[in-house]
């Protein structure tokens, strides 16, 4: 009888323990707010060296962790595909943009051999929402609600304007296209709906996964006049002075090791002292700054809403950019007469202007190159991670040397939520993720990735294994760099160490063959 009673008591205790562990597991699932901006340069926020006022991001950085070496894929759609699926973009069907080349790695939308973050998190009880730019499938059958999201507000096809829609673009709520309301501005609207979705998730009493994908500061350079005015005149010393000031701040805050040097100004950048339109160049940079500042205000509103809902301490907030700053438009940028009024003042709702190579090179300080390239200026992004209940307190306000990539985000989220990465989804077989969880980094650890990281976009290519990086521009020779000694890629070692370069090239080629990389330009298969 006594033994039987002990058995009953033991069973009850075990049951209570398991109930407690189950409840603890539920409670331990953090909310996740993933914020990605569009075409923002590496040095465009204060906590990475900028003169632009970003107090909300700076506060997250001082209470969180900043990555020195975090990577995207170098361009919009590929980064969004890799971020959303934990796969290299070619594996997810997005080897280029949203055009269909009739090839599995270049079909122009997410394929059926991947799961999105939302598809992985929703079955585990997460409320899943996106506000902003989707751009991984333009047709309605590829919109977010078909890929695991509960709610969607934004533009499926991408951005292209901040006050209205371009032809062929749609503003969508869930699966329904709506008219753009009077007074609409993209950054404000995407923030408004992000707050609404936080409220909905909180009311549903579910852990939240919220993806906020701003279209700022992507061209066209547009912002309210009163915001632009705050930055007018700040850039009249020129692009090089801007680069040097940012690099000096980066050194002072300890972002880079002492051996890092500021790269030379891009050779296509005009001589500032010989410009006839200095005021216009100042205006373009001021408008860009205003756009970044307004994103920061949106981040502040999101933080306030999380605090209001009592969710702040157990929410992982991540902030990053999809690629480096955009050099599109030649040396000093374009004025697009087809999409805007060429006589309109830069920054106004009817203008359509970019800041070109010179602006991008300054915003990506201290690196070489910019969006679309696989040099550091194209693929290196800030990553600010903030999570009061999850990041080791001794790491707060510090930089981590850990090397990460957007393919690591989905593995991180499922790890933190206690979810297994699926091998199947319904009758679909899912490609295993090459990504790694960043959870050890939040505890002061590191990431083991002996196989390295890989890139390819429009024939630009790179591989990084450890501190060694092999990189090329399309149609040009491979370059070899030791990033531990030369983060800004100034000392090409390919001729001094040909065996190392050859080995890395072979490793890249094996990866490219495995994931379906095609020579650029990709030939479209007939019938597609």
d(CA 39, CA 133): 13
Please give the model's pTM, rounded to 2 decimal places.
0.94
8 A C-beta contact, residue 191 and residue 295: no
CA distances in angstroms from 319 to 100, 299, 406, listed in the order given: 30, 9, 11
- Burial of residue 498 (CB within 10 Å: 0-12, 13-18, 19+) is exposed
Q: Which pLDDT value is given to residue 9? A: 35
Reading the block at residue 229, the tokens are 């005015």
Report cis status (omega within 30 of 0) of the bond before 366: yes
Residue 476, Cβ neighbours under 10 Å: how many? 10
Residues of the chain with pLDDT under 70: 1-27, 527-528
Q: Which residues are catalytic?
A: 76, 135
SS3 label, residue 292: helix
Q: Which pLDDT value is given to residue 187? A: 99
Reading the block at residue 61, the tokens are 């950085």
Which residue stretches of 324-433 are H helix?
Answer: 356-363, 376-379, 409-416
Using left for φ > 0, alpha for ψ between -120 and 50, and beta otherwise, residue 4 falls in alpha
- Burial of residue 446 (CB within 10 Å: 0-12, 13-18, 19+) is exposed
Reading the block at residue 41, the tokens are 């340069």
What are the domain boundaries of the chain?
29-449
Q: Which CATH architecture has domain 29-449?
A: 3-Layer(aba) Sandwich (3.40)
Q: Which pLDDT value is given to residue 528? A: 55
8 A C-beta contact, residue 131 and residue 145: no
Among 509, 510, 486, which residue's Cα sits nearest to residue 497?
486
Q: Which pLDDT value is given to residue 12? A: 36
């Amino acid at each position: 009888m006594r033994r039987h009673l002990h058995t009953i008591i033991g069973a009850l205790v075990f049951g209570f323990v398991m109930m407690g562990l189950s409840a603890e597991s539920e409670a331990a699932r953090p909310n996740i707010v993933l914020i990605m901006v569009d075409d923002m340069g590496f040095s465009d926020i204060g906590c990475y060296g900028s003169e632009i006022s970003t107090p909300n991001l700076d506060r997250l950085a001082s209470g969180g962790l900043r990555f020195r070496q975090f990577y995207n894929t170098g361009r919009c759609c590929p980064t969004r595909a890799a971020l959303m699926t934990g796969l290299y973009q070619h594996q997810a069907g997005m080897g280029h943009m949203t055009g269909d080349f009739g090839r599995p790695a270049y079909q122009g939308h997410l394929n059926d051999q991947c799961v999105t973050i939302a598809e992985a998190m929703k079955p585990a009880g997460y409320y899943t929402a996106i506000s902003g730019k989707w751009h991984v499938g333009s047709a309605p059958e590829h919109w977010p609600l078909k890929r695991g999201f509960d709610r969607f507000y934004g533009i499926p096809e991408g951005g292209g304007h901040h006050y209205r829609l371009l032809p062929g673009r749609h503003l969508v709520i869930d699966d329904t296209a709506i008219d753009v309301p009077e007074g609409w501005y993209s950054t404000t609207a995407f923030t408004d709906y992000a707050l609404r979705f936080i409220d909905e998730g909180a009311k549903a009493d579910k852990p939240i996964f919220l993806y906020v994908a701003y279209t700022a500061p992507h061209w066209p350079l547009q912002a309210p006049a009163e915001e632009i005015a705050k930055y007018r005149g700040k850039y009249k010393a020129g692009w090089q002075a801007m680069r040097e000031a940012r690099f000096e701040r980066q050194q002072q805050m300890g972002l880079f090791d002492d051996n890092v040097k500021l790269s030379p100004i891009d050779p296509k950048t005009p001589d500032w002292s010989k410009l006839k339109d200095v005021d216009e160049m100042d205006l373009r940079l001021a408008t860009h700054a205003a756009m970044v500042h307004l994103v920061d205000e949106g981040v502040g509103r999101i933080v306030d809403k999380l605090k209001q809902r009592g969710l702040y301490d157990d929410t992982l907030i991540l902030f990053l950019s999809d690629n480096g700053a955009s050099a599109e438009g030649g040396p000093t940028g374009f004025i697009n007469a087809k999409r805007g009024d060429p006589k309109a003042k830069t920054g106004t709702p009817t203008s359509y202007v970019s800041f070109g190579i010179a602006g991008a090179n300054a915003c990506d300080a201290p690196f070489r190159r910019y969006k679309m390239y696989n040099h550091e200026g194209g693929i290196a992004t800030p990553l600010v991670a903030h999570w009061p209940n999850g990041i080791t307190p001794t790491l707060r306000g510090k930089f981590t040397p850990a090397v990460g990539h957007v393919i690591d985000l989905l593995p991180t989220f499922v790890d933190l939520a206690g979810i297994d990465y699926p091998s199947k989804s319904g009758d679909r077989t899912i490609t295993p993720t090459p990504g790694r969880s960043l959870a050890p980094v939040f505890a002061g650890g590191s990431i083991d990735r002996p196989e390295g990281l890989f890139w390819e976009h429009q024939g630009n290519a790179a591989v990084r294994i450890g501190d060694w990086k092999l990189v090329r521009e399309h149609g040009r020779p491979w370059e070899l760099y030791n990033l531990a000694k030369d983060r800004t890629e100034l000392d090409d070692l390919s001729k001094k160490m040909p065996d190392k370069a050859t080995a890395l090239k072979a490793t890249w080629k094996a990866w490219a063959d495995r994931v379906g990389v095609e020579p650029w330009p990709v030939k479209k298969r007939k019938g597609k």
